[in-house]
Amino acid sequence: MTSRMTPLLGYNEQFARAFTPVPLGLPAAQVIVVTCLDHRVDPAITLGLKLGDAPVLRNAGGRVTQPIIEEIAYLAFLGQRISGGQLPDGSRFEVVVIHHTQCGTSFLADPGFRREAAEATGVDEAVLAASAVADPQVTARADVERLLTSPLLPPKMGVSGHVYDIETGRVTTIVDTRYP
């Protein structure tokens, strides 16, 4: 039986042969990446993240929604437990919000398109509106603010905002690291 998965499993066979397991521990890069699920913006490739480096939270647009904030709160709790609450003083973690140009969610900024999408998919129009990234500079900034003002953001957690340019492959920082 072949499926779309067959060539990917072929790749995985090679991968597993040279594999070294990563033990459960704190992510080495000390960042949590929030970005779009777009297949052109995989941060493992654009930022060189390797296994064990960083948790990556992805949704349409890379928007800081309530579920994303809850994941971050849980990850911080888990990190505390894994480290036995012994995180050294200097080891601050940072949430890195990366939005990108040419985002497929930009169409959702148009009310007519949004209404059609809601009717065709059954997804709530407000949920679709919350995904929209029409201008990544504006939404990256807004989402950094949303995280910083959330009561669920773990203490000492930094937040920064960036834009990935689909045309150049370059990431530009829009908001330098801030703390609540």
**Phi, psi for 85 (deg, rounded to 5):** 65, 20
Q: Which of 32, 33, 36, 132: binder of Zn ion (CB under 5 A)?
A: 36
Please name every residue paired with 96 in a beta bridge, in sequence order, or none if there are none: 33, 160
Whichever of 49 and 103 has its CB closer to Zn ion, that residue is 103
Q: Which of 29, 32, 34, 38: binder of Zn ion (CB under 5 A)?
A: 38
Q: Which CA distances in Å does 11 have to 8, 18, 20, 32, 179? A: 5, 12, 16, 27, 41
User: For the chain, how big is the Rg over CA atoms in Å?
Assistant: 18
Binding footprint of Zn ion, residue count (CB under 5 A): 3
Whichever of 4 and 39 has its CB closer to Zn ion, that residue is 39
Tell me how far, at minimum, the Cβ of 52 lies from Zn ion, in Å. 26
By CB under 5 A, residue 143 contacts Zn ion: no
Tell me how far, at minimum, the Cβ of 135 lies from Zn ion, in Å. 13
By CB under 5 A, residue 103 contacts Zn ion: yes
Torsion of CA 131, 60, 42, 49, to 10 degrees: 70
Q: Are 40 and 103 in contact (CB under 8 A)?
A: no
Whole-number Å distance between alpha carbons of 120 and 134: 21
Tell me how far, at minimum, the Cβ of 61 lies from Zn ion, in Å. 6
Select from 1-9, 18-26, 103-111, 148-156 the region that touches Zn ion (CB under 5 A): 103-111
Report strand pairing: 171-178 vs 31-36. unpaired
By CB under 5 A, residue 53 contacts Zn ion: no
Tell me how far, at minimum, the Cβ of 158 lies from Zn ion, in Å. 24
| Interface with Zn ion (CB under 5 A) | 36, 38, 103
